[in-house]
């Protein structure tokens, strides 16, 4: 029996495991593009628990599992007992007895940790308030596909120090690339000390200099909608627009996990422009998560 390994945050995989996963992703993507079957997870089952909305995460996990020969079940808080107060630990014990793999999108990281602690099968974080590791896997694979290794590269995060930002911080530490972060006062990351690979900049224009990737995200993440008015004021100078991109290089890549709010955190000119790789990032969720599911379920 394979030892249970969860993917609750980016740093749950070591550098060597990530390198193998990205290599596997390349093979899986190539087969997909040439219509070759790859049914490595026949008869395996995935349960997906969603406590927040999703397009990409649901599609990529559900289609990914079915393309690999397995099947999946979608649960949400509205029509499962999870929304009616059944303890997380009890839900984890029951759900994990009936399937091979579980993916959860929820609010607090603590919920997913409690769930994983009581689960007899691997648990994947499909986004919490604190982390979004699957998206950063896809983003880094997207960079590697275009430019080769990310080691030593510079990624600049502009905006809210949210779940995506935290997963980029984890990734910079595990994969040894530079991460520059610029956020408005009051929205800075609390868990960095400007040492090692991660540096904080109060000015976005300085943060993007020498960047290989400039990336951003919505000003108010899911669960923070009531703060949107205050955030719209605070984040004005942290918009990724043509002027900001011109402080980097013409080869700098723009990334966004999507969904995006054009005219807020990014202008149409940038997200729909030549430097943007947002559609590749979205597609690569499918390929990278297939590799992740194989990594967690199979003896590779
Ligand atoms: N990027 C991302 O996770 O998208 P969804 O919210 O649509 O799943
Ligand atoms: N930070 C965003 C990411 C959405 C995929 C959110 O949590 O809403």
Dihedral sign, Cα of residue 270, residue 272, residue 274, residue 278 = positive
122 with 159, same domain: the answer is no
Q: Which residues are catalytic?
A: 105, 132, 135, 217, 257, 285
Residue 193 has pLDDT above 90, yes or no: no
Q: Which CATH number does the domain housing residue 50 bear?
A: 3.40.50.1370
Decide: 135 in ligand 1 pocket, CB within 6 A.
yes
The reported pLDDT for the residue numbered 194 is 63
Query: Within a domain: residue 21?
Result: yes
pLDDT in tens, 221-253: 999 999 999 999 999 999 999 999 999 999 999
Structural contact between residues 154 and 180, judged by C-beta atoms closer than 8 angstroms? yes
| Same domain for 148 and 209 | yes
- Give residue 221 CA to ligand 2 midpoint distance, Å: 5
Coil/strand/helix, residue 41: coil
3 within domain boundaries: no
Q: Which ligand is nearest to the CA of 126?
A: 1
- What's the number of domains the chain is made of? 2
Task: Give the pair of three-digit tokens for residue 236.
Answer: 């004005």
**Could you tell me if the CB of 131 is within 6 A of ligand 1?**
no
5 in a structural domain: no
For the question of whether the overall pTM of this predicted structure is more than 0.95, the answer is: yes
3-state helix, strand, coil in the chain (%, to 5): 45, 15, 40
In the structure encoding, which two tokens stand for residue 74, read together?
């979608």
Phi-psi region of 124 (alpha: psi -120 to 50; beta: other; left: phi over 0): beta
152 is a domain residue? yes
Q: Are both 275 and 288 inside the same structural domain?
A: no
Q: Which domain holds residue 186?
A: 134-281
Ligand 2 cavity residues, CB under 6 Å = 127, 132, 162-164, 217-218, 221-222, 257
Q: Read off the pLDDT of residues 79-102 as tens digits, 9 standing for 90 and up.
A: 899 889 999 999 999 999 999 999
Are 179 and 224 in the same domain? yes
For residue 174, report the distance from its CA to the centre of ligand 2, in Å: 22
Q: Is the pLDDT of residue 282 over 70?
A: yes
Asked whether residue 262 is domain-assigned, the answer is yes
The residue contributing the CA closest to ligand 2 atom 1 is 221
Using alpha carbons only, give the angle 294, 284, 156 rounded to the nearest 5 degrees. 115
Q: Is 218 in the pocket of ligand 1 (CB under 6 A)?
A: no
CA of 153 from ligand 1 middle (Å) equals: 25
Is the pLDDT at 195 greater than 70, yes or no?
no
Assigned token pair, 120? 């007899």
């Amino acid at each position: 029996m394979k030892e249970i390994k969860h993917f609750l945050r980016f740093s749950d995989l070591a550098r060597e495991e990530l390198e193998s996963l990205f290599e596997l992703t390349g093979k899986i993507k190539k087969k997909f593009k040439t219509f070759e079957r790859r049914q490595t997870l026949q008869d395996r089952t995935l349960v997906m628990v969603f406590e927040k909305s999703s397009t990409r995460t649901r599609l990529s996990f559900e289609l990914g599992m079915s393309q690999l020969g397995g099947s999946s079940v979608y649960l949400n808080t509205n029509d499962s007992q999870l929304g009616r107060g059944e303890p997380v630990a009890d839900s984890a014990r029951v759900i994990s007895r009936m399937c091979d793999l579980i993916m959860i999108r929820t609010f607090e990281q603590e919920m997913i940790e409690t769930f994983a602690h009581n689960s007899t099968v691997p648990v994947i974080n499909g986004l919490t308030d604190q982390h979004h590791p699957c998206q950063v896997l896809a983003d880094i694979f997207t960079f590697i596909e275009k430019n080769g290794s990310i080691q030593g590269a510079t990624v600049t995060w502009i905006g809210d120090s949210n779940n995506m930002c935290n997963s980029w911080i984890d990734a910079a530490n595990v994969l040894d690339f530079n991460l520059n972060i610029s956020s408005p006062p009051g929205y800075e990351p609390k868990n960095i000390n400007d040492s090692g690979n991660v540096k904080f900049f109060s000015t976005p224009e300085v943060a993007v200099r020498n960047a290989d990737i400039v990336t951003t995200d919505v000003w108010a993440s899911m669960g923070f909608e009531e703060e949107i008015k205050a955030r719209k004021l605070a984040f004005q100078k942290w918009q990724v627009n043509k002027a900001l991109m011109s402080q980097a290089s013409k080869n700098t890549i723009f990334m966004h996990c999507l969904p995006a709010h054009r005219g807020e955190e990014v202008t149409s000119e940038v997200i729909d422009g030549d430097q943007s790789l947002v559609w590749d990032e979205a597609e690569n969720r499918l390929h990278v998560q297939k590799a992740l599911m194989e990594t967690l379920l199979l003896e590779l």
